[in-house]
Amino acid sequence: MPAKRFVLNISQNYSFAILRPLQKALLNSNRDVCWFVQGNSVNLDYFTDNEKILKTVDDVVKYDPDAVIYPANIAPTFFPGINVAVFHGFDAGKVDKKGLNDHYKVRNCFDLYCTQGPDSTAEFERLAKKHQTFRVIETGWCALDPLFSKNILDKKVEKPTILMCSTFSKKLTCAPELFETVKRLSATGKWHWLIQFHPKMDKGIVEQYKSIQNEHLTFVETDDVIPLLKQADVMVCDTSSVLIMFLLQGKPVVTFNNISPQNYLINIDSPEKLEASVTYALQRPKCLMDNIQHYINCTHPYVDGKSSYRLLAAIDKAIAEKTSLKAKPLDVFRQFKMRKELNYWKF
């Protein structure tokens, strides 16, 4: 029997870090895998020499994959194979213009959702029962496999490391309001700061933080945040879903005006509280750490670094049982936009 074929579909640079653990599992399982780039936001220099790229939709059709995997909310439905959603982040509580949680919006694009943990599984299973057009299997998130792998070592430094991450949304970002405070704190040399922002962050804000780099503060531009998560002792953030990845290590997060502050976060509403809150987080108080562990159990309890292999087993099961699903409703408007973006009009 020929090896099953897989396409890793990406549209943002951060998708490399999400899907490369899965690519490794695919190759270790003697499966064939190619990449397909959708849109113009991906830096092609991030590909390695041994990664295979399909350059056009016709190439994808000719390749005839058994499954196409997306770290995205939407997907074309005119590619061969089943469409698999693996998510580009966790549910951070963000809502759309109608006040609905965007993480759980069904867009009639996917045959399989590979969920990250009990909380997300429960909601997607409810939606699957309602729509009956897709399957839900809990696997853990493939992007986190390296976070729990022992072959990536923490980089130890003599003083605590604080990782500041921020979303690009003007309504949610903490970067502008915390700038002067971070500048002042970094100058004291008490902690080492790592600054890493969402790739869509306003360039003016990026340049601000780059301008204050010193021996105690480093601005990092990367497509793989995992090494930074492992290196830091505390995170400073806002409502970016990357804070969840940090929490899953059992490490504290200080948030600034988080839209849904919970007892596993240290949330502040003014820059003046930042220093004291980071100091408190570094002490790892028992009550806070117990709340973080409870959150881990509900959100992503998988710490074995093998979510990619569970995902492959889920895809095999979904391929075998695909005919048991109802046909998806035709989303003419969304799929027309997708065809226009890809300049593909064959039917």
pLDDT digits (tens, 9 = 90+) for 165-191: 999 998 999 999 999 999 999 999 999
- CATH number listed for the domain at residues 5-147+305-342: 3.40.50.11820
> Position of tokens 């979303």?
167
Confidence grade of residue 1 (pLDDT, cut at 50, 70, 90): low
Average pLDDT, the chain: 93
Closest-CA residue to 109 (of 319, 340, 260, 335): 335
Task: Round the CA-based radius of gyration of the chain to a whole number and report it.
Answer: 21
d(CA 340, CA 337) in angstroms, rounded, equals 5
Domains 5-147+305-342 and 155-299 equal at CATH topology level: yes
pLDDT at 102: 79
Residues 6+ apart with CB under 8 A from 145: 21, 25, 305, 306, 307, 308
Q: What are phi and psi of 159, to 5 degrees?
A: -115, 160
pLDDT in tens, 280-325: 999 999 999 999 999 999 999 999 999 999 999 999 999 999 888 9
- Mean pLDDT for 190-197 is 97
Dihedral of CA atoms 29, 34, 36, 41 in degrees, nearest 10, equals 80
For the domain 155-299, what is the CATH superfamily, name and number?
Answer: CDP-glycerol glycerophosphotransferase, C-terminal domain (3.40.50.12580)
pLDDT digits (tens, 9 = 90+) for 112-157: 999 999 999 999 999 999 999 999 999 999 999 999 976 544 455 5
